[in-house]
Structure 1
Amino acid sequence: MRIEQTIATKILELIKAEEMSVGSHLPAQLLADRLRVSRSPINEALGILAEKGVLKREANRGYFLATPVVVPTHALVEQLGIGETNVVSDVYFRIADDLLRGLLPRDVKETEIKQRYALTPAQLNSVMARISSEGWAEKKPGYGWSFSSMLTTADSLLQSYRLRLALEPAALLEPGYHLAPDVIERCRAAERHLLQGGIETDSADQLHERGVRFHESLVEGSGNPFFIDTIRRVNRVRRLLSYRSMQERSRYREHCEQHLHLLDLLERGHNDEAAQAMRVHLSSTLRNLEKISGILKP
């Protein structure tokens, strides 16, 4: 599977999560920023979705949503013939788990990955492209890969939350803070979806992305590029352990309720209360993660 097919799937997930209506504009640079890839694979992915009839391209204007995305994303990507194969998806999580367990060396040759996980060359390229785009592996000169040393211990995820505990409440108190009404409504819709059953049915990818979108959206309301860049970097590198922590989902209902309370406070302009609520929310998450720290240990 080509990397642009993976990105096309992520674009569909974004369209569905944000409940975009027909006619919505999908700027390539905005998508590149959201998905943290260059514009080249974004443009290729948009072209694929246009070929499939999901988007339409208008000369000198870009791509627009041509049909509503209402069915589950996994069903739609299979219907369109752009879905990630089970082999690639399964191997992705096996590599993550092996790395966390210390069963995979930090520096490894492509042939070793290919043989260890019984991959075809195309499958190898696909899974390593996804891992690289998420920031926990980089290509070495020649035919090898180097996995990041960050977030491979039980304490690493907890440390990332302590950084967020210092940063995110402060972002809500920035002068001129503003969270647009459409952003608030999109965030609310995502939380309601989870409370209505998505907690049990959504994939680990979808759960992680929903949390990332919520917290990044709130920080983006600060308009402070230093806050925004830092939270994006933290979210990018904590993904690896976040997946493992999702083996325990009982805490997500409380998360959703806290998120909705935060949105209510910000909508009313009660930023001081919202900052305190954010401290309570992240502190609660930190305590919950400490309770399940055994899941995170190698």
Structure 2
Amino acid sequence: MRSSEDTTAAALTPLQTRVTREILALARREDLAIGDRLAESILAEKIGTSRTPVNVALHHLVTLGVVYHDANRGFFMAKPARDVTDVAAPFFEEPDDPLYLKIAEDRLAHRLPDVLSEADLMRQYEVSRSELRRVLSRMQEEGWLERQVGHGWQFMPIIDSVDAYEESYLFRAAIEPTGVMSPTFSANRVELEELRRRQRFIAESGYLSMNSVELFEANSEFHETIAKWSGNRFIAQSVRRMDRLRRLVEYRQARARKPRQEQALEHLAILDAIAQHDLLRAAALLRDHIEGARRAKVHAQEIFTPHA
């Protein structure tokens, strides 16, 4: 027999479910307290969606007791974000759209050819054309699928092997420290303090309650923000693309990942160096940080072992 909470969750569309999950993840990353405001416009901007699914997600969180709504003032946390682990857990059991994950899983396991048609995909996954196109459009936006003439689609190079994973880390180790040393590098002080606060929370206790998907998103936010500070649009764009490609692998392995406190501590050391305007040290720490992650993850070759 399903609980009322499961029934309510099932009524959400995939987009609304994703937005609800990202609101929970954001609240937990920022360690929000009782009474902290959740502004719809700011959430929509951070998540990259319109206010409509954000409003639905917030109302859903009201039914779960995480958020309360004041008709005149908006939405606020009804309990501390660090105390909503049980509520958040079901949203991270499947960290994304099931069809998106299935196609990603099959591609990473080399069960899909480089070029395929919409008709073949519709038959294989037993979905409608509209549902399929919604997912394919997202994959195209993320840069790992390209539309061909007619109804065909071609997969672009992705991180689908140990060698490709290592290449991605070597690329990041080359461009991310370069961004810090760029003459146009300028850290936004407000953003820097926000990153510090979030990484400090993770290092002190958040790593014990945050799941692997949340930790990955916090990690992506850290690297993409520093890349943005470089003032170089190509570096910022490249880091965002690498994170999108890494997300496929990380989400696939989400349940197997163990939280890493030391990652947040390394992030804090890099931010401290930036705050002290010691960019040479910050770049060196960032390079060591990426190299350390490469050695730890790339050598764990079971990351590309297909799941049963």
The residue number in structure 2 matching 1:75 is 87
Q: Pick closer, same or farther for the CA change 1:292–1:268 going to 2, 3 Å.
A: same
Taking structure 1 as the reference length, what is the TM-score of the superposition? Answer: 0.72
Q: Deviations over 1:187-231 (max 9, x none)?
A: 233334433554465444323211110111112222332322222
Q: Distance in 2 between matches of 1:73 and 1:108?
A: 40
Residue 236 (structure 2) aligned to one of 214, 220, 228: 228
* Contact persistence 2:196–2:271 (CA under 8 A): yes
The residue number in structure 1 matching 2:162 is 154
The residue number in structure 2 matching 1:242 is 250
The residue number in structure 2 matching 1:8 is 19
Q: Distance in 1 between matches of 2:125 and 2:207?
A: 30
Q: Distance in 2 between matches of 1:123 and 1:105?
A: 21
Q: Distance in 2 between matches of 1:125 and 1:56?
A: 38
Does 1:177 pair with 2:177? no
Residue 218 (structure 1) aligned to one of 216, 226, 230: 226
Q: Distance in 1 between matches of 2:209 and 2:115?
A: 35
Shift of 1:280: 1.0
- 5+ residue gaps, structure 2, are 1-11
Q: Distance in 2 between matches of 1:282 and 1:208?
A: 14
Taking structure 2 as the reference length, what is the TM-score of the superposition? Answer: 0.70
SS at match of 1:26: helix
Q: Deviations over 1:16-60 (max 9, x none)?
A: 4345742757358x82xx55x5xxx524324435766778999xx
* Contact persistence 1:153–1:297 (CA under 8 A): no
- 5+ residue gaps, structure 1, are 59-63
* Contact persistence 1:3–1:129 (CA under 8 A): no
The residue number in structure 2 matching 1:17 is 29
Shift of 1:251: 7.5
SS at match of 1:67: strand
Residue 280 (structure 2) aligned to one of 266, 272, 275: 272
Does 1:288 pair with 2:290? no
CA RMSD of aligned residues (A): 4.1
> Aligned residues: percent identity?
24
Q: Distance in 2 between matches of 1:97 and 1:284?
A: 26
Q: Distance in 2 between matches of 1:6 and 1:49?
A: 7
* Contact persistence 1:26–1:65 (CA under 8 A): no
SS at match of 2:230: coil
What code does the residue aligned with 1:14 have?
A: L
The residue number in structure 2 matching 1:61 is none
* Contact persistence 1:157–1:242 (CA under 8 A): no
Residues 19-58 of structure 1 correspond to what in structure 2 (within 5 A)? 21-22=36-37, 26-27=41-42, 31=45, 35=47, 41-49=49-57
Does 1:103 pair with 2:93? no
Q: Distance in 1 between matches of 2:278 and 2:242?
A: 26
Does 1:195 pair with 2:207? no
* Contact persistence 2:165–2:298 (CA under 8 A): no
What code does the residue aligned with 2:75 have?
A: A
Shift of 1:67: 1.0
Q: Distance in 2 between matches of 1:247 and 1:23?
A: 29
What code does the residue aligned with 1:17 have?
A: R
Q: Deviations over 1:135-155 (max 9, x none)?
A: 434566766654433222221
SS at match of 2:37: coil
Aligned residues: 282
Q: Pick closer, same or farther for the CA change 1:140–1:87 going to 2, 3 Å.
A: farther
SS at match of 2:296: helix
Q: Distance in 2 between matches of 1:140 and 1:6?
A: 31
* Contact persistence 2:203–2:262 (CA under 8 A): no
